[in-house]
């Protein structure tokens, strides 16, 4: 179903935006301590809370639209078997589906946002559950569309596009569906694959249950000698601790259950690889990677360019490793030393209003129109700012909902990281806003491949602004360190994951067995290559493959690194070229999915198949290291 893809993509994007903010959360948790009881929503000023009345002014109005969409579901049956009868019939179906999609998008947005303001409020949880149930009904009712459309001879479909002017807006969308024709099976085989999906997703489901529910971590002594049980949150928070022995204790304890169950985890990991390989083969793709990248029409050369360019240019990371070891005064460097700050004395609180002013000043290079749009969001309650009792944790932007502006969820804790989270999420927000303003419904969304470009672009500009306006040497050093850590985690780390993913899939495709020891040795060798001879690779670090959920996402992580590289190149273009680069960037934000992701980026002059784009990140890291060395030696 056309609208179902929009909704599922939107949910994925929200989750991505939440996941990408996790490092900020862990640092904030470390900084803020326990604190007092959380305020209730009625204790927060209205200007810091979402105004959802532009979506629906009341639940009664939501119920009316919900009932309208539900009543329209049965109407899909009238189109079945008739899409190929005439151009008019096809257009009528697309208009019908679009009308439902627009209304359902608003229904979904209201239920989704309302639920997240208080997860304990069963009233809004019920609205959301009903909404997702309705999405399933709509998907089932319109499931005939894709196979029936692909059964229409391509020449006939092109004739339809010529004779019916109303179909013109759908041409790219229809061509995109036709592009997948060679990998779409007949009706019976498609039904079989759909049935098999309940089985092939078992490894992912089991891993999720193990990682999030069943795993039992040991206890360790904290920095004050008190026994605490290790958890995901405490593990990440500990990595920022200045107490090295505590970092090491938590690190080794965290990996213990993964080591204890490495054989079970190997079976899950291999099961997922074989499931993806089964699907790729069934759809007649040349490889698992080709199948995954084809969804967004991404050439394999983009993946190859990223991995090869990063892997062959790890010297800045080696240099960073040696510098951290020297400044920290460590005899050796381990994975549990890579997150701790070199400048712990630098600390400053930022109110939300101060954060808004900083973001507006930092993003001024993007031009008056962009700043005006940002102010519209800040002044009209598009952002839910503070943590309150029952509110969802983390941060996200709601994405594009046709006819309604996007919303941003925050949990502000007065940290510098909150300022960066604000800049990041407003990047998503403006991307969705400009897309919604400028694209018709079929293209009022954007690919996951480009989803992190606008957000990391904002972060890059904010970092540059803060470094330029730092009041002390220590503050400037701390900000340069943050920039280096961003490159390390979002570019090099995600590319390392992508390279590992490619390696294990290729071995699976060749029928080579992947044992726990082989999987660990492969990861350990790659980790060593990226960080260089200055890094001690512990046995625990070799087990990283056992705990990363992204390895179950099917060639997903490379997009973090490509988006990051693209945004760094764009930030430089805006600073150097000025207005021409800004105009191209705004056109990128406005393009939605009206063209393929690679082509959307090329509008801005960024070519993701070019080594130059990747090397720009490498050069930037070297430049930042030069700046840090100079300041440290002053």
The stretch 605-625 carries a mean pLDDT of 94
pLDDT digits (tens, 9 = 90+) for 372-381: 999 999 999 9
512 is catalytic: no
Question: Containing H/E element for 364?
Answer: none
The answer to whether residue 538 is domain-embedded is no
Residue 196: predicted pLDDT: 85
> Would 383 be classed as within a structural domain?
no
pLDDT, mean of residues 492-505 = 98
User: With 80 as the cut, is the pLDDT of residue 26 above it?
Assistant: no
Range from 12-16, 339-343, 471-475, 505-509 that averages highest in pLDDT: 505-509
How far is residue 81's CA from residue 513's CA, in Å, rounded to a whole number? 47
Count of Cβ atoms closer than 10 Å to residue 221 Cβ: 13
Mean pLDDT of 140-157: 91
Average pLDDT, integer, range 211-227: 92
Q: What is the mean pLDDT of residues 484-505?
A: 97
DSSP character string of 60-99: HHHHHHHHHHHHHGGGGGGGTT-TTT-HHHHHHHHHHHHH
Instruction: Give the angle 463-388-9 at the CA atoms, nearest 5°.
Output: 65
322: pLDDT strictly greater than 90 = yes
**Half-sphere exposure of residue 583, counting CA atoms within 13 Å on the CB side?**
4
Is residue 55 in some structural domain? yes
How confident is residue 25, by pLDDT bands cut at 50, 70 and 90? very low
112 part of a folded domain: yes
At which residue do the structure tokens 């080591």 appear? 259
- For helices 22-32 and 416-438, give the axis angle rounded to 10 degrees: 150
pLDDT of residue 36: 57
pLDDT given for residue 174 in this prediction: 93
Assign 76 a pLDDT band (cuts: 50, 70, 90): very high
Answer with the residue of higher pLDDT: 27 or 61: 61
**Nearest partner of 573 among 562, 559, 584, judged by Cα:** 584
- Let me know: does 167 contact 160? Beta carbons within 8 Å: yes
- Residue pLDDT, tens place only, 153-205: 999 999 999 999 999 999 999 999 899 888 988 778 887 887 888 788 899 88
CATH number, domain of 52, equals 1.20.140.70
In this predicted structure, what is the pLDDT of residue 31? Answer: 35
List own/partner pairs for 212-217 with CB under 8 A and 24 or more apart. 215/257, 216/257, 217/253, 217/254, 217/256, 217/257
Alpha-helix runs per DSSP H in 312-409: 315-328, 352-362, 368-379
User: Residue 16: pLDDT above 90?
Assistant: no
Structural domain contains residue 77: yes
Please count the CA atoms within 13 angstroms of the CA of 255 that sit on its side-chain side: 18
pLDDT of residue 51: 97
CA atoms within 13 A of residue 481's CA, in its CB half-sphere: 20
Residue 339 falls inside a structural domain: no
Count how many domains the chain has. Answer: 1
435 domain residue, yes or no: no
For residue 14, is pLDDT > 60? no
- C-beta separation of 126 from 27 below 8 A: no
The helix, strand and coil proportions of the chain, stated in percent and rounded to the nearest 5, come to 70, 5, 25
Task: Give every CB contact of residue 474 below 8 A, 6+ residues apart in sequence.
Answer: 343, 345, 346
Q: Which residues contact residue 308 at a Cβ distance below 8 angstroms, ignoring those fewer than 6 apart?
A: none
State the residue range of the domain holding 94.
Answer: 2-7+43-184
User: What is the C-alpha separation between 443 and 462, in angstroms, rounded?
Assistant: 30
**Above 70 in pLDDT, residue 32?**
no
Q: Which residues pair with 401 in a beta bridge?
A: 404
The strand pair at 535-536 and 333-334 is best described as parallel
Closest-CA residue to 589 (of 455, 435, 461): 435
DSSP, res 339: S
CA distance 559 to 545: 18
402 pLDDT band, cuts 50/70/90, is: very high
pLDDT at 2: 56
The active-site residue out of 27, 148, 425, 540 is 425
Pick the range with the lowest mean pLDDT from 198-202, 276-280, 503-507, 539-543.
198-202
Over residues 34-60, the pLDDT tens digits come to 445 789 999 999 999 999 999 999 999
Helix and strand numbers (H, E) in the chain are 28, 7
Asked, for residue 65, whether it belongs to a domain, the answer is: yes
Arithmetic mean of pLDDT over the chain: 91
Q: Which two tokens stand for residue 220?
A: 């360790």
For the stretch 381-396, pLDDT in tens is 999 999 998 899 889 9
- Tell me if 301 sits within 8 A of 290, measured CB to CB: no
pLDDT of residue 69: 97
Q: Residues, the chain, total?
A: 634
């Amino acid at each position: 179903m056309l609208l179902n893809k929009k909704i599922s993509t939107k949910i994925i994007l929200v989750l991505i935006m939440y996941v990408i903010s996790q490092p900020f959360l862990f640092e904030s948790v470390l900084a803020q301590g326990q604190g007092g009881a959380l305020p209730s929503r009625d204790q927060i000023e209205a200007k810091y809370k979402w105004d959802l009345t532009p979506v629906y002014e009341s639940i009664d109005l939501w119920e009316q639209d919900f009932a309208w969409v539900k009543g329209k579901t049965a109407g899909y049956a009238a189109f079945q078997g008739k899409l190929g009868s005439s151009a008019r019939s096809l257009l009528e179906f697309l208009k019908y589906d679009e009308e439902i999609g627009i209304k359902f998008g608003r229904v979904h947005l209201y239920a989704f946002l309302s639920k997240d303001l208080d997860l304990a409020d069963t009233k809004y949880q019920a609205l959301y559950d009903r909404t997702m149930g309705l999405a399933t009904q709509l998907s089932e009712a319109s499931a005939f569309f894709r196979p029936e459309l692909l059964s229409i001879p391509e020449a006939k479909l092109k004739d339809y596009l010529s004779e019916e002017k109303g179909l013109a807006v759908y041409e790219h969308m229809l061509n995109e569906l036709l592009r997948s024709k060679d990998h779409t099976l007949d009706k019976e085989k498609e039904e079989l694959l759909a049935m098999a999906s309940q089985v092939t997703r078992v490894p992912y489901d089991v891993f999720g249950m193990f990682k999030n529910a069943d795993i039992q971590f040991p206890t360790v002594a904290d920095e004050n000698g008190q026994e605490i049980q290790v958890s995901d949150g405490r593990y990440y928070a500990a990595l920022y601790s200045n107490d090295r022995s505590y970092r090491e204790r938590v690190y080794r304890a965290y990996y213990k259950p993964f080591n204890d169950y490495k054989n079970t985890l190997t079976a899950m990991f291999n099961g997922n690889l074989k499931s993806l390989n089964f699907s790729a083969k069934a759809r007649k793709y040349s490889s698992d990677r080709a199948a995954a990248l084809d969804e967004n029409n991404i050439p394999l050369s983009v993946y190859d360019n990223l991995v090869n360019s990063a892997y062959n240019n790890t010297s800045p990371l080696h240099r960073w490793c040696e510098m951290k070891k020297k400044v920290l005064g460590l005899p050796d460097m381990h994975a549990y030393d890579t997150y701790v700050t070199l400048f712990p004395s630098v600390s400053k609180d930022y109110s939300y209003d101060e954060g808004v002013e900083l973001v507006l000043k930092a993003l001024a290079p993007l031009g008056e129109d962009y700043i005006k749009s940002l102010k519209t969001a800040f002044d009209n309650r598009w952002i839910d700012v503070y943590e309150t009792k029952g509110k969802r944790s983390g941060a996200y932007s709601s994405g594009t909902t046709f006819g309604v502006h996007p919303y941003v969820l925050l949990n502000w804790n007065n940290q510098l990281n909150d300022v960066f989270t604000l800049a990041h999420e407003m990047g998503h927000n403006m991307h969705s806003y400009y897309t919604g303003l400028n694209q018709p419904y079929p293209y009022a969304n954007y690919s996951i491949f480009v989803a992190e470009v606008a957000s990391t672009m904002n972060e890059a500009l904010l970092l540059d602004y803060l470094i330029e306006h730092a009041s002390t040497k220590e503050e400037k050093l701390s900000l340069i360190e943050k920039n280096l850590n961003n490159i390390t985690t979002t570019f090099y780390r995600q590319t390392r994951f992508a390279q590992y993913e490619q390696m294990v899939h290729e071995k699976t495709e060749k029928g080579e067995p992947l044992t726990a020891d082989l999987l660990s040795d492969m990861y350990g060798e790659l980790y060593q290559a990226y960080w260089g001879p200055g890094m001690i690779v512990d046995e625990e670090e070799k087990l990283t493959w056992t705990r990363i959920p992204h390895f179950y996402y099917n060639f997903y992580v490379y997009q973090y690194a490509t988006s990051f590289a693209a945004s760094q190149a764009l930030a430089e273009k805006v600073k150097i070229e000025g207005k021409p680069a800004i105009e191209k960037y705004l056109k990128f934000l406005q393009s939605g999915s009206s063209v393929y992701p690679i082509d959307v980026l090329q509008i801005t002059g960024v070519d993701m198949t070019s080594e130059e784009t990747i090397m720009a990140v490498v050069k930037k890291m070297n430049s930042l290291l030069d700046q840090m060395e100079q300041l440290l030696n002053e």
